Structure 1
Amino acid sequence: MTAAPRSIITLTAIIRLLLGWGTYFALLVAGHLLAPPVPAPLLVTALLVIIAVILICAFGVVTEAEHLANRLGDPYGSLVLTISICLIEVILIAAVLLGPGDHATIARDSVMAVSMIILNAVIGLCLMVGGLRHGALTHNRTGVSNYLVMIVVFAALAFAVPALIGAPDGAYEIWQEIPIIVVTVGAYAFFLYRQMGPQANEFTEVAPVGAVSVDASSTVGTTHPSPAEAAHQAESRRPEAAGQVESEPQGIVEILSTHRVEIILRLVLLVATVLPIVLLSHDMATLLDDGLGRLGAPVALSGVVIAMIVFLPETLTSLRAAWNGEIQRVSNLCHGAQVSTVGLTIPTVLVIGMLTDQRIVLAESPINLALLAITLLVSVIGFAGKKVTAVQGAAHIIIFVMFGLALFA
């Protein structure tokens, strides 16, 4: 049974929307008051207000994402949140590139920060939470390996290859950009097709936490029923005996048809709640740059903080999935976000660079390349096993700490 519109567009959801969009428009009106240098008390107050509003909106996004995930099932439910946030992030980067000033490294810095946050901070925390609460967790190795293969290839095209075959400044030449765009878009589209179609079952949970086989549970601490009792129990478990009609599970097409209104409303509400988060994060960049500059912190730290804020809804959703022992959903959210971020961002910025005659510098520094390589190696080794544990999560968190230290080097 589909949910009624009134149960979707609730008072709480409306308040979240009003807070998010109201704060954004208030910042637009009061923009001249927040032009650097901003007085310290006003700067701190503005940052606290923005962060508080972002947190409130983030919980709304998580709520809608979980409703959609429950309705659509994985991997479709996770894809909705992942692609929504990634598309908005790509639009923001594109807006910066199309604006005034020189932003040759904006795509590289943003995607690298997002990569280290997703692959190390978020996945590390999720493995720690899930591992400590449930022990070793079983993931769908075929699905995760598909993610990791795409991540390795996209990361190489984005950060390593331009340093080896590109111009001295780390940018691709025009004749190199065209095949890179074509193969990246083609590979990403093919991956999505396989994930949502023929290979969809490879991105579902292998063994939900708490699931116990009927045979195992019925033979521990109980006596075997007599043949007559066994026959009666078997008959009572038949769907016809309970007045039910046995049916096949709903396919995605049938779900979309049956619950079309609910799904559309939740999608609109999710995007409408995500947008203020991203827009406020973008506006907050100026305030962070000002504040961090006064503290003598590196400028790159601002980009990391913004990336963490933008992906806060996905982080919260992933942590909740880990708490529930849904490790494959964690992979769908985190690894899927990484594939989407690179697969969408790199082609987009290269096209904009070609159209606007801008240099797009993608080649990374040696230390960041080394940390990314270690991250991918740890990911491949860790998820190659049948189960993942909290120890692997600790390793990812250590790598993220090293990335943080490298920012100050």
Structure 2
Amino acid sequence: MFTPPLAVVLLALAWGRELPVAAVIVAAVFLAGAVLAAVHHAEVVAHRVGEPFGSLVLAVAVTVIEVALIVSLMASGGPEAASLARETVFAAIMITCNGIVGISLLITALRHRVAVFNAEGAGGALGTVATLATLTLVLPSFTTSTPGPAFAPAQLAFAAVASLALYGLFVFTQTVRHRDYFLPVRPDGSVIDADDHAVPPSGRTALASLGLLLVALVAVVGLAKVESPAIESAVSAAGLPHAVVGVVIALLVLLPESIAAVRAARRDRVQTSLNLALGSAMASIGLTIPTIAVASIWLDGPLHLGLGPTHLVMLALTLVVTTLTVVPGRATLLQGGLHLVLLSCFLFLAVSP
């Protein structure tokens, strides 16, 4: 209970300052504590509101805070500001659709030989992710109204409105119209609409956990940024590309969703894991692009959204493999391994482009 507030206090003391090695280590310890606290409180909220609302709360909360961080970094300027949104969103897609999906399928398949989930829900989520990614990250590389991998103002406005509309439509489908498509299922295909038959927490407890969840996520994202100078120094000392810094920070920011997805998979709730993974990828695009579009009105400099050839290939391969994974509604160790190899490929290409 005390870890998230203490982590935020540490964040306030460390923000914008050059930290000694001891302070960096302390910040890393509190970052780890804030991640575990975020996962705990997210599970309390999820138990109270049920699925798929619990997954939605965690995915949206961490994305909103992440978007605020992106806008603040873009406002500070610098040569990397033009492509910051693109690199962050693409890293989130790769980590969620390959890392979280892969490890969740692997854990469930190791326990039960086959991971069973709802193909309608996972397929609908993946279709939305694919559409959003193509509209915002692929098309800018091929439009001709402006030079470079960037949208013209009217095109950016259209992409922002379309992204927000698609995300809103998906949330309505997930939580109202076809909620049963996103609930965990048993091996025989029957829906599980309860959480281990445990008594749900009271409303007061759930509200307290919701508040502490938001505080913990602020600490996670903020301390990840505080740690970034130390990460940059380590990356530079190792002679690695600067893009590795963004990947490491994205991995840190997505830790709460990753741990929550792994815990759900260990409880045979792989559908919940897929909700977290695909929902986080979707929220990362559907909330980041509209916010950046509005912020670009007063932000100086170009906004590069279009992916380069290597990342376009990685995105296409990820979408194809994920489609083949979710269509049957059943997955084995092979599918989990495929996704983890794709994540390894993304990380390797970040180190050796």
Provide TM-score, normalisation by structure 2. Answer: 0.91
Q: Does 1:201 align with 2:180?
A: yes
| CA distance in 1: counterparts of 2:45 and 2:54, whole angstroms | 5
Residue 48 of structure 2 aligns with which residue? 71
**CA deviations over 1:19-55 (Å, ceiling 9, x no partner):** 31232133248x24x3xxxxxxx44x44433322111
Instruction: Tell me, in whole angstroms, the C-alpha distance in 2 between the residues paired with 1:380 and 1:364.
Output: 21
How far, CA to CA, are the matches of 1:82 and 1:22 in structure 2? 24
SS at match of 1:197: helix
Q: Which one of the candidate residues 87, 93, 96 is aligned to 1:115?
A: 93
Counterpart of 1:23 in structure 2 is 10
The amino acid of 2:259's aligned partner reads L
Equivalent in the alignment of 2:213: 270
Aligned to 1:385: 328
Separation in structure 2 between the aligned mates of residue 387 and residue 202 of structure 1, nearest angstrom: 15
CA distance in 2, matches of 1:21, 1:143: 36
* Deviation, structure 1 residue 389: 1.6
Indicate conservation of the 8 Å contact 1:97/1:352, yes or no: no
Corresponding residue for 1:186?
165
Q: Distance in 2 between matches of 1:184 and 1:291?
A: 36
Q: 2:156 aligns with which of 177, 186, 190?
A: 177
Q: Which residue matches 2:283? A: 340
Give the gaps of 5 or more residues in structure 1: 1-12, 35-41, 212-248, 250-255
Q: How does 1:124-139 map to 2 (within 5 A)?
A: 124-139=102-117
Aligned to 1:57: 34
Question: How far apart, in 1, do the equivalents of 2:15 and 2:177 lie?
Answer: 47
Matched, 1:152 2:130: yes
1:239 corresponds in structure 2 to none
- Distance in 2 separating the partners of 1:49 and 1:125: 29
User: What residue number does 1:369 align with?
Assistant: 312
Aligned position for 1:7: none
Note the 1:229-268 alignment, pairs <5 A: 259-268=202-211
Q: CA offsets per residue over residues 342-400 of structure 1, 9 Å max, x none? A: 11111111221133353210111111110111011000001111311221110011111
Structure-1 separation of matches of 2:249 and 2:37: 19
CA contact (8 A) 1:78 1:332 kept: yes
The answer to whether the Cα contact below 8 Å between 1:350 and 1:360 also exists between their aligned partners in 2 is no
Residue matched to 2:140: 162
1:396 alignment partner, SS class: helix
Which one of the candidate residues 343, 349, 352 is aligned to 1:406? 349
Separation (CA, whole Å) in 2 of partners of 1:51 and 1:311: 15
Gap runs ≥5 in structure 2? 195-199
Aligned AA (1:116): M
Identity %: 28
Separation in structure 2 between the aligned mates of residue 187 and residue 25 of structure 1, nearest angstrom: 36
Encode CA deviations 1:139-189: one digit per residue, 9 max, x unaligned: 011111110110110110121100011533101011211211111111111
Structure-1 separation of matches of 2:298 and 2:267: 46
Aligned pairs for 1:92-107 within 5 A: 92-102=69-79, 103-107=81-85
Q: 1:80/1:140 Cα in 2 relative to 1: closer, same or farther (>3 Å)? A: same
Aligned equivalents of 1:158, 1:304: Cα separation in 2 = 19
**Structure 1 contact 140–205 (Cα < 8 Å) conserved:** yes
In the alignment, the residues of structure 2 paired with residue 317 and residue 265 of structure 1 have an alpha-carbon distance, to the nearest angstrom, of 19
Structure 2 residue identity aligned to 1:185: L
Residue identity in the other structure for 2:103: L
CA distance in 2 between partners of 1:101 and 1:140 (Å): 44
How far apart, CA to CA, are the structure 2 residues paired with 1:385 and 1:28? 47
Provide the C-alpha distance between the structure 1 equivalents of 2:315 and 2:277, rounded to a whole number of angstroms.
16
2:228 counterpart (282, 285, 288): 285
